Amino acid sequence: MAGEGHIASPADGTIFGLGELSSNARLEAKGHKFSLAELLGTEEYDQTYKDGEFLTIYLSPRDYHRVHCPMKGELKQMTFIPGRLFSVNESTTTSIPAVFARNERVILHFKGEHGPFSMVLVGAMLVASIETTFAGVITPVGQSISHWNYHKGAHLKFEQGDEVGRFQYGSTVITILPSNTRGFAKNLKSEQSIRTGETLGQF
């Protein structure tokens, strides 16, 4: 595990995209750009993550399909956004614009020791469901956006490396950090294989 002061990879897989969020909070994946608001389903977090960073990990069908917390944090909100179930493999993410912001997804918003961070679990073709360790199977739950708030009473606290969710088949995890973290390591690159718990950077 990456350890104190470091950001751990939340999953086994391949880095599909990483970089800084521009001033209007846009992400880029396989040559396509889309807004953070499109991905998260709200503009509420545009200022929170303005000039922050993101990293996308693709889990192929052969990878370990569980997702772990990259750093210590307390879950504050979970959101389910319905959508399509396009494949998220290399050819699809290249040919279909903003596929991650069009597929159904579960978004986890955390309060960390050094600021907020978010994780987006993106569904895909053949992914029967997205499941969390604290709320069970999340998808599908209907055709409207659903929210679960944990601001009061629940105190869902996770240590680095704790399992937060799982896919029934491979898919994608996007980790989003604010600008006040030291961020992802500069030597990470697209197409790089990554393992759960491997160091991705520092905060």
Q: How does residue 144 score in pLDDT terms, banded at 50, 70 and 90? A: confident
Round to whole Å and give the CA distance between 70 and 115: 13
**For residue 28, pLDDT beyond 80:** no
Q: Please state, in angstroms and as integers, the Cα–Cα distance from residue 49 to each residue in 24, 164, 181, following that order.
A: 10, 22, 11
pLDDT at 84: 62
Residues 39-66 pLDDT 10s: 898 999 999 998 899 999 988 878 888 9
**For residue 101, pLDDT beyond 80:** no
- Which range, of 124-128, 152-156, 174-178, averages the lowest pLDDT? 124-128
Q: Is 68 a catalytic residue?
A: yes
Residues 146-169 pLDDT 10s: 899 997 767 899 999 999 999 877
- Which range, of 45-49, 77-81, 92-96, averages the lowest pLDDT? 92-96
Q: Which residues on adjacent β-strands are paired with residue 130? A: 167
Q: Is 32 a catalytic residue?
A: no
Provide the 3-class DSSP secondary structure of residue 39. helix
Using the Cα atoms of residue 142, residue 40, residue 177 and residue 115 in order, give the sign of their dihedral.
negative
**For residue 126, pLDDT beyond 60:** no
- The one catalytic residue in 6, 9, 65, 68 is 68
- The one catalytic residue in 6, 63, 109, 171 is 171
- The one catalytic residue in 12, 63, 109, 118 is 12
**For residue 97, pLDDT beyond 90:** no
